[in-house]
Amino acid sequence: MFRTLLLMTGLLLAGATAAQVQVKDAWARPTVPGQSGGGAFMTLTAPQGAKLVGATSNVAGVTELHEMSMDGHVMKMRAIPSLELPAGRAVELKSGGHHLMLMDLKQPLKAGDKFTVELQVVDAQGKPTTVPVEVLVRSGAPQVDHRHGAHHY
């Protein structure tokens, strides 16, 4: 009886941890021959707020958090140490913006394949957690019901 209670408490805690960050529409582009790196994109929502501090993937030797910015007329990307996930707000990792950079790819990424990324997240209490994400390889971004109003699909 007592043991069962403890077990249930453990399960509840595990459930709470997994709910720290919700991930939607995780995808990456297929690679072309000779390409050793690529971006991975997704939408992250942390109901209580959190910070993305890194990631690893089973298909890449190194995975970095990148941001794109304009340097004069040149689009540049650089590694950043962390990305804030404000409470309840969807943060998009997308082409041309923040993204996960997969480097030293161990295998080509083919359309229809799936691979795993483990996000390293620090929650609002400062506690580190790992969020496993299944990433689908596809040739274009998933159709999102758009919130910006400017585009029509």
Minimum CB–partner distance for residue 142 and Cu ion (Å)? 20
Nearest to Cu ion of 23, 77 (CB atom) = 77
Nearer to Cu ion, 28 or 121 (CB): 28
Q: Measured on CA atoms in the order 65, 69, 71, 77, is the torsion positive or negative?
A: positive
Nearer to Cu ion by C-beta: 78 or 106?
A: 78
Choose among 71, 62, 69, 51: nearest CA to 117.
Answer: 62
Q: Which is nearer to Cu ion, 77 or 124 (CB)?
A: 77
In the complex, what is the shortest distance from the CB of residue 124 to Cu ion, in angstroms, rounded to a whole number?
27
- Tokens 């997969």 correspond to 102
Q: How far is the CB of 39 from Cu ion (least distance, A)?
A: 6
**SS3 state of residue 13:** helix
CB of 115: closest distance to Cu ion in angstroms? 17
Short-list 129, 111, 113, CA closest to 121 = 129
Q: Which residues bind Cu ion (CB under 5 A)?
A: 66, 77, 101
Residue of 91, 68, 86 whose CA lies nearest to 78: 68
